[in-house]
Amino acid sequence: MRFEKDNGALVFYHQGERVRIEPWGKDSFRVRSTMLSNFTGNDWALTESLESFETEIFITEEDHWAGDGSMDKREIASIQNGRIRAVVNFAGVISFYKDEKLILREYFRFYDGTLSKESRCLKIINREWKGIIGGSEFSLNVKFESNEGEKIFGMGQYQQPCMELKGCVLELAQRNSQISVPFALSSLGYGFLWNNPAVGRVTFGKNYSEWIARATKEMDYWITVSDTPKGILSNYTDVTGHAEMFPEDLMGLWQCKLRYRTQEEVLSVARQYKKEGIKIDQIVIDFFHWTLQGDWKFDKKYWPDPKAMVEELHEMGIRVIVSVWPSVDRRSENFGPMMEKGLLIRTERGAAQTYDYQGDCVEIDPFNPETREYVWEVCKKNYYDYGIDAFWLDNSEPDYGVYDYENYRYCEGPALAIGNMYPQMYSRIFYDEMSKSGRGTVVNLLRCAWAGSQKYGNVIWSGDIPSTFEALEDQIQCGLNMGLAGIPWWTTDIGGFMTDDVNDPDFRQLLIRWYQFAVYSPVLRMHGDRGPYNIPTLDDRDWGGGYLRTGQPNELWSYGEDNYKIMRQYYDIRMSMHDYIKKLYEEAHVNGSPLLRAMFYEFPEDEKCWEVTSQYMFGDKYLVAPILHLNEFKREVYLPKGKWKLTSTGQIYDGNDLVSVDAPVEYMPVFEKQ
């Protein structure tokens, strides 16, 4: 074991491993390790410029009892950055302290000749490297002691009812509706970023926690401490990037459905909204408006003059967003050139195919700068130059035909090693160029993200989820944990994506309850694939804009007069909160605070707020209690200490209590903090 000081960092070497602990932001450390000759130099999510921080490093010797009963001396070392301290013992085990209190320690069960607690014969080490035969990557397993009573949150979006993650096993991989953002927030006052885009797994076990990367060249994680979740998120976004200030003219209603098939359909919907006196901020043109996947252009048969369409919509104050997929059909005019230039994902074995929905496709490789340039030039010519304002970057995981991550390779390495960054790199095809255009803040819509995606103009939605109350309940914790993982711009498909029958009264009740929730969420967006599918296709070609089916109407007035009245009422509520929502977006920009906040984010001193998961704070003012079950017209709500006004009646309640309130279908319980 050998310790060194290196420009404010503590470096040590142990059995072929090089480990570096260095200050990285306020009260924070970055910890890297490798079995290679040096580090890769990749910063991954840690992209922001930092001020320098003074550290204190001590390398000392301590007496230790050897197994034969004799005494010897072994080196230990420590490094301090503000309120956080790391201590490394003679076996290379790292312990982290916040204000001298132990908060996290690597797990080590190996007999090393001492009589210490960790000296056991299990031969379990804290950082386990195994070389991948024939490659330069390793599999990596890093273990930490489990803290009794600790609660873990964040980590992105997983379609499950569990908001608190202690005891959960999470795949570190991107899938449709699953978003791996590997930042965990602990109730003990620390945040932990697994700064590694490798496919893997994390287990927050009762006996120990375990982070696994299936293929990587180095260990890389970042840890910070603070007294509050707000302080932890502030430290985190300082090093990974801040969301820009969200445009005021996108804080209202976005209109979308599967799918507007023609230019005239889009315009007729926009004109009807204008006639109804409802301002929509943005209208979305969904998939298969194109000729073929990968052509990235309108089918002229159904979209004869996109520029004129955009101009009319702009005159109504409506922005236009258009769907772009990363899949390239073999029949596409761009397939041959992109395959020849190596701009598509490569398969390690078998046929060159990564996606098979409505065509034999290979998806683009956004890690390749030539790919990014090629795709942007096509989309600029065929969309952006017409005045299209933004892009709906769908299938951004990407959505593979089969999630065999070990079968895919990008120009920068195997998908196993870097694949979780795919959605971020995909978004940068557009963000990097659009941010130079002078056309204002970039706001694109994506189905996936990774750590740091908040700085690339990404509104993330929760994916193709079913239209059920169970799915609605899952979305509450999805949105809260996404916010705690540093992603404040988040939304869902109101009513869920997959609906069999829009005439089903149970679905319509679900739609209303979902819409009420969405009004008190960052982005209010109508979308869904609405059955029954009895609308004929526009033509019988097996390609082009008229080829694929469409769903039933999905505008506010599409679900009967009674429901339209409720949605109009809640639309007015959304509009009345404009200045308040603007303030929340400013906070997200400045300090990383999400708009959708776990109860403990605003009330960290209240132990009950760390337990409650079916309600949340919309900013610091409104306590929202969504209705999450069919035919539920009353629910219990926990009110923290203070005075709270029920917005439906004006009644004032004393906090620090559990109250029961009525919830007719016309009303979702919301309390205003007094």
First to last CA, the chain: 59
Cβ neighbours of residue 589 closer than 8 Å, sequence gap 6 or more: 242, 243, 244, 245, 246
d(CA 460, CA 442): 13
User: E-strand spans in 27-178?
Assistant: 28-34, 56-65, 71-81, 84-88, 94-98, 101-105, 127-131, 138-145, 152-157, 169-172
H-only helix segments in 365-444: 369-382, 415-418, 422-434
Q: Which two three-digit tokens encode residue 571?
A: 């639309």
d(CA 29, CA 23): 5
In 3-state terms the chain splits into helix, strand, coil percentages (rounded to 5) of 25, 30, 45
The CA-based dihedral angle spanning residues 255, 259, 261, 263, taken in that order and rounded to the nearest 10 degrees: 10
User: Which phi and psi (to 5°) does residue 116 adopt?
Assistant: -75, 165
* Residue of 22, 365, 464, 474 marked catalytic: 464
Amino acid at 493: D
* Residue of 27, 329, 389, 394 marked catalytic: 394
d(CA 439, CA 575): 25
Are 556 and 568 a contacting pair, CB within 8 Å?
A: yes
Q: What is the DSSP string of 456-479?
A: GTEEEE--S-BSSHHHHHHHHHHH
- Burial code (b: 16+ CB inside 10 Å, e: under 16) for 241-254 equals bbbbebbeebbbbb
- Burial code (b: 16+ CB inside 10 Å, e: under 16) for 174-211 equals bbbbbbbbbbbbbbbbbbbbbbbbbbbebbbbeeebbb
d(CA 480, CA 488): 9
d(CA 292, CA 287): 10
CA 274 from chain center: how many Å?
Answer: 34
Active site residue 394: yes
Q: What is the DSSP string of 189-254?
A: SEEEEE-----EEEEE-SSEEEEEEEEES-EEEEEEE-SSHHHHHHHHHHHH----PPPGGGSSEE
Residue 232 to residues 156, 197, 564, Cα–Cα distance (Å): 16, 21, 42
Active site residue 356: no
* Residue of 397, 399, 474, 493 marked catalytic: 397
d(CA 596, CA 639): 17
d(CA 608, CA 72): 49
Q: Which two three-digit tokens encode residue 195?
A: 């700064």
Q: Which two three-digit tokens encode residue 310?
A: 């955009």
User: Which phi and psi (to 5°) does residue 546 adopt?
Assistant: -100, 5
Cβ neighbours of residue 117 closer than 8 Å, sequence gap 6 or more: none
The residues annotated as belonging to the active site are 394, 397, 464
